[in-house]
Amino acid sequence: MNPSSSHDSDFLYEKIAGEIRSLIETGTLSPGDKLPSVRKLSGQKKVSISTILQAYMALESEKLIEARPQSGFYVSSVSLLRFPEPLEFCPSDSPRTVEVADNVMELFKAAGRSDIVSLGVNCTMPELISNHKLGKIMSRVSRDHSEFLSRYMFHAADPEFARQISVRSFDYGCNLHPEEIIATCGCTEAFNLCLRAVAGAGDTIAVESPTYYGILEIIESLDMKAVSICTDPKNGVCLQELTNTLEEHDVKACVLMPNFQNPLGYRMSAERKRKTLEILDDYGVPLIEDDIYGDLHFRGNRPRPFKAFDQTGSVLLCSSFSKTLAPGLRLGWVAAGNYRDRILRLKYLNTMGTPEAPQRALAEFLKSGGYDRHLRNLRSSFQRHICQMSQAVYQYFPEGALVTRPEGGNLLWVQLPETIDTQELYRRAMERNIVIAPGSLFSACCLSACIPHDEPCLFRNCLRLTCGAPCEGKVEAAIKTLGELAVDIASGVDSGQKAG
Ligand SMILES: Cc1ncc(COP(=O)(O)O)c(C=O)c1O
């Protein structure tokens, strides 16, 4: 097939789906309204029937429209667009030491249990990401390259691996040179190295609020401080607050996730990315960027990371294949701009190098073209899971629950009424073998240990849910149980009372 014609038709169906989506969003089309027949719309738009069908199917997978047998397509009666999203969040903060590690460890331990419904740690069901072809390539590479086992790895990355990352980076406007890529053990190591390259103990790092608890854990382990920047679930960090924070505090680096942020799921616009970099450059503050969810967009093209706008080499771009392909490979990378040499030295100190065989296997898998097909399936599964989970939350959780509407990734952030403490919900859910991630984990300072009693814990009424599996069977039952527990907490019923 001619690649440009397939690209054109992708573009066309997305454009048509976008037009219909915006008619639903603005209320021009209401729940129950009938859409034009596929044949009629194809005539009106002068595009093929399959393009219209593709557009309708995309909207159907977002649960915006539904097909009724022998009748056609209708605006869905449970369209998620009817539901409100969480409001803008907390104010920015002053620098604090961080205390999350013990709570995160508890979450990780529970996630490893087979009797648990794990909605806390972000894992995807193995059937969705395990890839038979990658497994076969791994075996072949191990067989054909015994030298990978008998020597130290003295390069920043396997040259083939670096080349594949570089080739893919053209797609999202980065044009990374293979020499820039340093392979790491997951995004976690990339982060760790970046923070150590730009700051030391006692230094302050600016983070989104809420942010991924893994970042907070690393900041904690390096004895650094975090300063939270007010972040809204649709647009990302507040740029005025960022400026104020940089003006007031001696910030050594800023950590941001512009594409499908964990936990809020927003995607920053290109314009805001550009402005953010301008601000950081004005204050000479490097940006550590986590783009681990960048390939998991539900619509349009893959969004560009900050790195695509970087004119000064001050962006350290980190990513990995843990969310899209194989968390067990522990394979990530960093393109660190001006900090490359420093990171490389730290990498040698840390682990000497990243194992070569997995890098080469992944490179061969990427070269074979299987990855893009795999990503397409994964994205549409995640989008379906997100829709199902959002609807289950609205169905089973107490009145007033608000849910984010992510544009990619596999996470949902839920804001419950003020009276519901999700730390208590976490405790009660754990007794029923359900694990959630309470909101307090996503804040630079959380839980009673470091919060003065008169200061409410940030996000104490929020939680994050992982949508790595369909919201069916025991996952749906778990959401129902969580809803009942939340109602009990809101109405002051204690768990012992209920059990008795
Ligand atoms: C935003 C973000 N960054 C990094 C990681 C960890 O990545 P890795 O498993 O590659 O170390 C996660 C895992 O949940 C994540 O959500």
What are the b/e assignments for 232-252, b being 16+ CB within 10 Å?
Answer: bbbebbbeebbbebbeeeebb
Choose one of 255, 322, 331 to mutate for the ligand 1 pocket test, by most ligand atoms within 8 angstroms of C-beta. 322
Give per-residue pLDDT as tens, 121-159.
888 888 887 778 888 999 999 999 989 988 888 889 999
Are both 247 and 365 inside the same structural domain?
yes
Tokens representing 180 are 């820039």
Do 178 and 308 fall within a single domain? yes
- What three-state secondary structure class fits 499? helix
Amino acid at 59: L
| 212 Cβ inside 6 Å of ligand 1 | yes
By most ligand atoms within 8 Å of CB, the mutation choice from 194, 292, 321 for ligand 1 is: 292
pLDDT tens string 377-435: 899 889 889 988 988 998 899 988 989 988 899 999 999 998 999 999 999 999 999 99
Cα-to-centroid distance, 414 and ligand 1 (Å) = 20
Report d(CA 381, CA 183) in Å as an integer.
29
Residue 253 lies in a domain: yes
**Mean predicted lDDT score pLDDT of the chain:** 87
**Bridge partners of 182?**
334
Report CA(218)–ligand 1 centroid distance (Å).
12
Q: Which residue has the tokens 């990530």?
A: 332
Same domain, 150 and 267: yes
Cα angle, residue 131 at apex, residues 129 and 136 outer, rounded to 5°: 155
- d(CA 383, CA 111) in angstroms, rounded, equals 23
Residues 181 and 162: beta-carbon distance below 8 Å? yes
Of 313-317, 342-346, 439-443, 454-458, least confident by mean pLDDT is 454-458
Residue 91 lies in a domain: no
CA of 322 to the centre of ligand 1 (A): 7
Which of 371, 402, 429 is at the close of a domain?
371
Is 367 in the same domain as 442? no
pLDDT in tens, 474-500: 999 999 999 999 999 998 887 766 544
Check residue 14 and give its pLDDT. 85
Say what the pLDDT of residue 89 is.
Answer: 57
406 in contact with ligand 1, CB cutoff 6 A = no
Residues 254-292: tens digit of each pLDDT: 999 999 999 999 999 999 999 999 999 999 999 999 999
**C-alpha of residue 187 to centroid of ligand 1, in Å:** 6
* Residue 86 pLDDT class (50, 70, 90 cuts): low
The phi and psi torsions of 47 (rounded to 5 degrees) equal -130, 170
Domain containing 30: what range?
Answer: 3-82
Q: Residue 146 contacts by C-beta under 8 Å, 6 or more apart in sequence?
A: none
Ligand 1 centroid to residue 324 C-alpha, Å: 11
pTM over 0.85: no
Ligand 1 and 186: CB distance under 6 A: yes
Q: Are residues 347 and 391 in the same domain?
A: no
**Could you tell me if residue 35 is inside a domain?**
yes
Q: Residue 330 CA: which ligand 1 atom is closest? A: 10
Sorted by sequence, the CB contacts under 8 Å of residue 399 that are 6+ apart come out as: 417
Residue 307 has pLDDT above 60, yes or no: yes
Highest mean pLDDT among 43-57, 117-131, 437-451: 43-57
Dump pLDDT digits (tens) for 193-242.
Answer: 999 999 999 999 999 999 999 999 999 999 999 999 988 888 899 999 99
Index of the ligand 1 atom closest to the CA of residue 186: 10
Contact by Cβ (8 Å): 148, 360: yes
Quick one: 395 and 427 in the same domain? yes
Q: Is residue 338 in a domain? A: yes
Number of folded domains that form the chain = 3
Q: What is the DSSP string of 51-95?
A: HHHHHHHHHHHTTSEEEETTTEEEE-TT-GGGS------PPP---
Give, in order, the Cα–Cα distances in Å from 229 to each of 204, 208, 288: 12, 5, 15
Structural domain includes residue 8: yes
Whole-angstrom Cα distance, residue 72 to residue 170?
41
Token output for 219:
């900041």
| Per-residue pLDDT, 427 | 92
Q: What is the DSSP string of 132-201?
A: HHHHHHHHHHHHH-THHHHS---SSS-HHHHHHHHHHHHHTT----GGGEEEEEHHHHHHHHHHHHH--T
